[in-house]
Amino acid sequence: MKILLIGSGGREHALAWKINQSPMVSKVYCAPGNAGTSFICENVPIAADDTEKLLSFAKEKSIDLTVVGPEQPLVLGIVNLFEKEGLAVFGPSEKAAELEGSKSFAKEIMKKYNLPTADFSTFSDADSAKAYLEKKEYPLVIKADGLAAGKGVLICNKKEEAIAAIEQIMEEKLFGQAGAQVVIEDFLVGEEASYLAFVDGENVLPMASSQDHKAVFDGDRGPNTGGMGAYSPAPIMNQEVMDMVTREVAEPMVKAMAKEGRLFKGILYAGLMMTSQGPKILEFNCRFGDPETQPILLRMKNDIIPIFQASINGSLDQCKVEWSDAPAVCVVMASKGYPGSYEKGLPISGLNSEGGLDDAMVFHAGTSLKSGETVTNGGRVLGVTATGQHIQGAIENAYHAVSKIKWDGAFYRTDIGRKAIKT
């Protein structure tokens, strides 16, 4: 099979690595890819959101299966475009991807079908949003309605912060058109966890549990990012909790989307807050998480291609996934200034040294090749991912590999996975 993988992040490098292991696969193209994918795929210089060019390429190369990594092409309707031309593509349709493309749409669906989530209100007018703040208790959460690369969520501890957040999102257009509407919701207290599952429109096949670290600094301090690290499994999401989330969150949402005429196929990703009243939904995404994909795929024993095919053709009920007992930890190495502005083009040293450590993989995210040298090309640059016999060992292996990799201004959190260690 010839595979087209769309995207350029750490998630896509991890997917490329996993797809390449399949005996069914003869060739993998990655569009546009990064320095890491260039060593295991053929990178194609087409942007992930250039859906027409991607379609032309897939037809020209007789691609057997297209796997869509990031959310933007899904929200733009790439699945509809490919399916119209008779091409197999893994991911939700444009109408189904609105579950991630519009937070207000997702919240309204949750409310309509009585799924557990925080109380909320939606506003398309800044003055109305500010007036609503007068009667709210704090902290509360303000979210840009549209896609904001994981950064459109602001936690406000007092009214003044909330007013400033409304002004930044709606008036100053901090997140562009994504902030034309905002969702204001009650703050949930608890520990975050990620639930990812393969979905075929009816059946739900959960992946291993995981936990992301959104805040930029140790101790969950600072602004939210696209994710500074992740680990799998997450002890807070034991098998009993996973089964409950499948039963009370994932399956009802898949049924709800079908009832709404938005048949959902692909990846259903629920960001959860584990509260004292049980799991509550923070958001839904319609693709693999980044960085959760990196540790999850490191633990996945199966060939992933038959699962993609079963998701497309509606036979996931005939599939099982096996997971390694070894925990995995991904530490994101980022550029100085992220999640704000940062410099690009800085040479990275030490990338070959991790080869001496059997339990570590370095998944590239914001990297590119310049005269044969790997340089930085984004905010989140690398996802250094390692396994171990236990979570402490996986943490140590990951940070041992991290210590060998350097570039000017590189930084990372030093507490990834710590929540998983029993105290």
The 10s digit of each residue's pLDDT in 20-62 is: 999 999 999 999 999 999 999 999 999 999 999 999 999 999 9
> Residue 152 pLDDT more than 70?
yes
Evaluate whether residue 323 is within a structural domain.
no
Task: Tell whether 148 and 260 lie within a shared domain.
Answer: no
Of residues 283, 344, 307, 25, the one with CA closest to residue 147: 283
How many residues in total does the chain contain? 423
Strand partners, 376: 367
Look up residue 332 and give its amino acid.
V
pTM of the model: 0.94
Domain encompassing residue 208: 191-318
Radius of gyration from C-alpha coordinates of the chain:
20
Of residues 423, 407, 348, 357, the one with CA closest to residue 386: 357
Number of domains in the chain: 4
Evaluate whether residue 384 is within a structural domain.
yes
pLDDT band at 353 (very low <50, low <70, confident <90, very high): low
> Residue 148 pLDDT more than 90?
no
DSSP H helical ranges for 192-344: 239-245, 251-259, 293-299, 305-313
CA dihedral defined by 293, 295, 297, 301, rounded to 10 degrees? -160
Task: Tell whether 304 and 333 lie within a shared domain.
Answer: no
CA dist 219 and 344 (Å) reads 27
Q: Residue 124 sits in a domain of what CATH number?
A: 3.30.1490.20
Local structure of residue 388 (DSSP, 8 states): -
Contact indicator for 58, 66 with CB cutoff of 8 Å: yes
Six-digit token pair at 195? 């639930």
How many helices and strands (H and E) does the chain possess? 13, 22
Report the chain's mean pLDDT, rounded to a whole number.
94
Six-digit token pair at 12? 């896509």
pLDDT band at 144 (very low <50, low <70, confident <90, very high): very high
